[in-house]
């Protein structure tokens, strides 16, 4: 069943896959148990073989014990796996200084990926500055925002370092889904919600592993967001730290040039 799931490429993916497998074992046991009983009784107690039914039927209390057993297993899964995994995802986010921090601003139908630039501080946003052609997130290109890097649908992260992604939306609810990272978080307008994970396999390494030169980690939208929802696809590239820095440097070169900034923006 593990190989039915997408390739796993983050530190916590194993834990999520494990609980999925455990729950499915429980389901399989129950289903096979029920199924075997079901087939047996259908054959054994068909009218042709058993013309007069037994008024009482099963007398044993076995089923009660089975119920209790199911409840206990569920409690173990809940307390032993589900709650701790969730707590790790929500409560044990590393401090910003130890992580790569990226913001994602979703819109119909694209992912704006936003890096704080060399100063490590995100600039301000002003919706009056939104210009879909040149500044879709309404970034104030002065002060902290002067060196901020924005892309559309292209996210890069360094491998083996915690990444914190702060997710928001400009318009409707989207859902930021990184299948290979086992990350999914709704992008809700009016809120900024962080997720974190540690990518463990670079894109290049995954390409070698899969023998597929075009392999890419993808960003999918998992929440219906309008007519072109199905095509709201982004890309996540996991780089070595050096490649990541080179990419940031390249992006920074696009910022230079031009005489003065958006003086016509109101």
Partner 1 sequence: MGFWRKYVFSIDHKVIGIQYAVTGLLFLSCGFCLMMLMRWQLAYPGQPIPFIGSWLGDTRAPGGIMLPDFYNQLGAMHGTIMVFLGVVPLAVGGFGNFVLPLQIGAVDMAFPKLNMISYWCLFVGGVIMLGSFFLPGGAAQSGWTSYAPLADIAPTGQTAWLFGMIFLITSSLLGSMNFIVTTIQLRAKGLTFFRLPFFVWAQFVTSFLLLLAFPPLEAAGVLQLMDRLAGTSFFLPTGLVVSGEILQVSGGGSPLLWQHLFWFLAHPEVYVLILPAMGIVAEIIANNTRKPLWGYRSMVYSVIVLGFLSFVVWAHHMFITGMGTVMSSFFQTTTMIMSIPSVILLSCLFISLYGASIRFNTPMLFALAFLPMFGIGGLTGLPLGLSAPDIALHDTYYVIGHFHYIVAPGTIFALFAGIYYWFPKATGRRMSEFLGKLHFWPSLIFMNGVFMPMFIQGFAGVSRRLADGGVTYSFAGNVTPLNRMMSWSAWGLALAQLPFIINFFMSMRSGVKVGNNPWHATTLEWQAPSPPPHGNFTQDIVVSHGPYEYSVPGQKEDFLPQNQPAEA
Partner 2 sequence: MRNSLFPLKKTSHLAATLIVAAALAGPTFAGSITGTVKYDGPVPASMKRPLRMDADPGCAMKHTDPVLPEGLVLGEGQTLGNVFVQIKSGLPDKEYPVPTEPVVLDQNGCKYSPHVIGLMVNQPFKILNSDGLLHNVHSLPKINTGFNRAMPGAVKEAEFKFSKPEFMFKVKCDVHPWMGAYIAVMSHPYFMVTGPDGKFTIDGLAPGTYEIEVWQEKLKTKSATVTIAGDEAQTADFTFTPPQRKK
CA–CA separation, 141 and 124 (whole Å) = 8
CB 172 → partner 1: shortest distance, Å?
Answer: 4
Question: What spatial distance separates the first Cα and last Cα of the chain, rounded to whole Å?
Answer: 55
Element (H, E) at 263: none
Counted residue by residue, the chain has a size of 266
User: Is 229 among the residues that bind partner 1 (CB under 8 A)?
Assistant: yes
CB 166 → partner 1: shortest distance, Å?
Answer: 11
Closer residue to partner 1, CB minimum distance, 100 or 107: 107
Closer residue to partner 2, CB minimum distance, 113 or 183: 113
Asked whether 85 and 19 are in contact (CB, 8 A), the reply is yes
Q: What number of other Cβ atoms are within 10 A of residue 110's Cβ?
A: 20
- What character string, x for contact with partner 1 (CB under 8 A) and - otherwise, covers 116-155? -----------xx-xxx---x-x-----------------
User: Is 225 among the residues that bind partner 1 (CB under 8 A)?
Assistant: yes
Asked whether 249 and 200 are in contact (CB, 8 A), the reply is no
Considering only residues 18 through 57, tell me which ones interact with partner 1, judged by CB under 8 A.
Answer: 19-20, 23-24, 26-27, 30-31, 34-35, 37-38, 41-42, 45-47, 50-57
* DSSP conformational letter for 132: T
4 interface partner picked from partner 1, partner 2, none, CB below 5 to 8 A per type: partner 1
User: Is 82 among the residues that bind partner 1 (CB under 8 A)?
Assistant: yes
- 263 phi, psi to nearest 5 deg: -70, -15
């Amino acid at each position: 069943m593990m190989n039915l799931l997408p390739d796993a490429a983050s530190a916590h993916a194993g834990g999520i896959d494990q609980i999925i497998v455990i729950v499915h074992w429980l389901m399989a046991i129950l289903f096979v148990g029920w199924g075997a009983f079901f087939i047996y009784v259908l054959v054994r107690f068909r009218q042709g073989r058993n013309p007069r039914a037994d008024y009482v039927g099963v007398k044993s209390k076995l089923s009660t014990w089975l119920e209790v057993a199911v409840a206990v297993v569920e409690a173990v899964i809940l307390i032993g796996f589900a709650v701790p995994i969730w707590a790790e995802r929500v409560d044990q986010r590393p401090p910003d200084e130890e992580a790569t921090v990226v913001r994602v601003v979703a819109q119909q139908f694209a992912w704006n990926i936003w890096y704080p630039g060399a100063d490590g501080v995100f600039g301000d946003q002003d919706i009056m500055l939104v210009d879909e052609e040149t500044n879709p997130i309404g970034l104030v290109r002065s002060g902290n925002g002067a060196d901020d890097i924005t892309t559309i649908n292209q996210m890069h992260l360094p491998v083996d370092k915690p990444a914190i992604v702060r997710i928001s939306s400009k318009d409707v609810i989207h859902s930021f889904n990184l299948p290979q990272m086992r990350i999914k978080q709704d992008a809700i307008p009016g809120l900024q919600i962080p997720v974190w994970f540690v990518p463990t396999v670079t894109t290049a390494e995954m390409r070698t592993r899969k023998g597929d030169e075009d392999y890419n980690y993808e960003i999918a939208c998992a929440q219906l967001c309008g007519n072109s929802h199905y095509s709201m696809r982004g890309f996540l590239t996991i780089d070595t730290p050096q490649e990541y820095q080179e990419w940031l440097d390249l992006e920074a070169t696009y910022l230079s040039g031009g005489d003065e900034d958006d003086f016509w923006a109101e």
